[in-house]
Amino acid sequence: MKILTLIAGVLALLLLLLSGPLYQAEILGLMNAFLAMRIALIVGAVAIVLALIQVIFMRKTLSWSATGVAVICAAVAIVIPLSMMNKAKSVPPIHDISTDLVNPPKFVAILPLRADAPNPAEYQGEEIAKQQRAAYPELQTQKYQQTRDQVFDAALVAVNTMGLELVNSDKSSGLIEAFDTTTFFGFVDDVVIRIQSDGQMTLLDARSKSRIGKSDIGKNAERLNGLIAGINTHLN
């Protein structure tokens, strides 16, 4: 049974670790990649049960090293999918986040890159705005005393610091466009920053939208919060 336990634990971990790369390599579709993660969780749970049976009933023949490796592999295969599921349940199933919910910044240079994206570039309006207000009330238009050029330069530095892929930087129109690629699944999220003068204040709005998927599991809001924090740091 110790060999079976070890195989189950290692298999669970491999299923988890390969689900993302196999999706990126277009060997698995998105639904099958998610299915692989769920199977990894189940196989991991089986490995844990087998390990417990050995610890309780088969101590004399127990290999602590093999069982330990199996449990560690299985635990990783269980914890990561569960954490993702719990995070998905804790945030609204939306994928388009903006600091301006009435007149969100529009993608311009990025539009050709989204031509084949399942999620349209257009903002879907009050249906998602209401959900965002409840989940991310902190994401609002940012107001600065600094000049438009100073805020633009700080935003550009923040974009580069975060490792976003710059697509367009137009100081005359106050627009910065970039995209971010997630590490594991390689999902692409697009970002647009709009900087405008309003009397003696400079207004900054930012928007982050996924090209694929219904829920972003909070990633776009997290990105905008990080971007705003980076801009504030560079301006202080």
Mean pLDDT of the 41-61 span? 92
Q: How many residues does the chain have?
A: 236
Residue 33: CB atoms within 10 Å:
19
Q: State how far the Cα of 194 lies from the Cα of 232, in Å rounded to an integer.
A: 15
Which pLDDT tens digit goes with each residue over 151-164? 999 999 999 999 99
Residue 57 has pLDDT above 90, yes or no: no
pLDDT at 199: 86
Is the pTM higher than 0.85? yes
Q: State how far the Cα of 191 lies from the Cα of 206, in Å rounded to an integer.
A: 7
Question: In the chain, which residue ranges form alpha helices assigned H by DSSP?
Answer: 2-24, 30-57, 64-90, 126-135, 148-161, 219-235
Q: State how far the Cα of 98 lies from the Cα of 103, in Å rounded to an integer.
A: 9
Which pLDDT tens digit goes with each residue over 113-167? 999 999 999 999 999 999 999 999 999 999 999 999 999 999 999 999 999 999 9
pLDDT at 90: 94
Q: Which residue has the tokens 């110790």?
A: 2
pLDDT at 236: 85
Residue 60 has pLDDT above 90, yes or no: no
Which pLDDT tens digit goes with each residue over 1-50? 889 999 999 999 999 999 999 999 999 999 999 999 999 999 999 999 99
Maximum alpha-carbon separation in the chain: 80
Q: Are 209 and 119 in contact (CB under 8 A)?
A: yes
What percentage of the chain exceeds 90 in pLDDT? 92
Mean pLDDT of the 104-116 span? 97
Q: Which residues lie closer than 8 Å to 2 by C-beta, 6 or more apart?
A: 54, 61, 62, 63, 66, 67
Q: Are 216 and 119 in contact (CB under 8 A)?
A: no
> Which amino acid, one-letter code, is at 19?
S
Residue 104 has pLDDT above 90, yes or no: yes
Residue 218 has pLDDT above 90, yes or no: yes
Asked which of 54-58, 76-80, 165-169, 186-190 is least confident by mean pLDDT, the reply is 54-58
Q: How confident is the model at residue 61 (pLDDT cuts 50, 70, 90)?
A: confident
pLDDT at 226: 98
pLDDT at 63: 87
CATH homologous superfamily for the domain 96-235: Kinase associated domain 1, KA1 (3.30.310.80)
All CATH 3.30.310.80 domain ranges of the chain, comma separated, are 96-235
